Amino acid sequence: MSIFADRETRLVVQGITGRDGSFHTRQMIEYGTQVVAGVTPGKGGQQFDNRVPIFDTVEEAVLQSGANTSVIYVPPAFAADAMFEAADAGVEFIVCITEGVPVLDMTRVRPFVDEKGARLLGPNCPGLISSGKSKVGIIPGNITDPGPVGLVSRSGTLTYEVVAKLQGAGIGTTTCVGIGGDPINGTSFIDCLTAFEEDPETQAIVVIGEIGGTDEQDAARFVQENVTKPVVGFIAGQTAPPGRRMGHAGAIISGSSGTAEEKIQAFHDNGIGVAKRPLDVVGLIQEALG
């Protein structure tokens, strides 16, 4: 199976006529994703590539196309409004690719999305890909094949690297999810671990974390208490100097709670095998799958 997106996903693209939106819409369609609508205010009534209807609002798009999932490719200044609009229109799953969304905006968006009963992935994330079924976001479709491994990561580029290495070893994935590394986001490690645990086709799970915050420690404890499938991990930022922000806005160490050492220890303490390098994830997964 897969988690969060599959062949039944009906996708509306917010910002479909922009540079990034148009490029990745074509990639998603080529992969086989059901892109049923696009939204660009002022361009309602037009078509994207003569096949995807464009609407002025998400509400119109949902009513006319039956879209249940949205992906957002709009500038940071408009991303919060796009997430508000999607949730208000009844979209069940909202994926925000946009980087640089102000944290203050997210303090308003996250509770609103939760109140509406929608799931948010991101912002500042690569989205997800359910191998052979549906691609929502920017993860390349040619680097993974269907298989038994579920992957969740805070880092987009490390997602690509690890998935490609697994593919090179003949190991495919059920779903790869990039949750993003902003201080306030939607879907968490624990949300993904829960879904992978419940997915009968996922036999092993990869967790890719990074310095900053305590999400990885929380995930490790959750694995110990609730996950029966083998889990392996990697922590990025092991050479980062204390107090230095590295990459993601959330990747900043405060005291000892956000260090790579503390996270790696939490993984070890809770039965999660830890790779020293991204490449080493392959060997750990091979052992886990037997």
Residues acting as catalytic residues: 248
Helix (H) or strand (E) holding 263: helix 260-269
Return d(Cα 5, Cα 22) in angstroms, integer.
20
CA dihedral over 251, 253, 254, 258, signed as positive or negative? positive
Q: Is 223 helix (H, G, I), strand (E, B) or coil?
A: helix
What is the distance between the terminal CA atoms of the chain, rounded to a whole angstrom?
21
Q: CB of 258 within 8 A of CB of 252?
A: yes
Rg (Cα) of the chain, in Å, rounded? 18
Q: CB of 182 within 8 A of CB of 229?
A: no
Q: CB of 93 within 8 A of CB of 121?
A: yes
Return d(Cα 91, Cα 100) in angstroms, integer.
23
Return d(Cα 7, Cα 26) in angstroms, integer.
17
Q: Is 75 helix (H, G, I), strand (E, B) or coil?
A: coil
Q: CB of 70 within 8 A of CB of 12?
A: yes
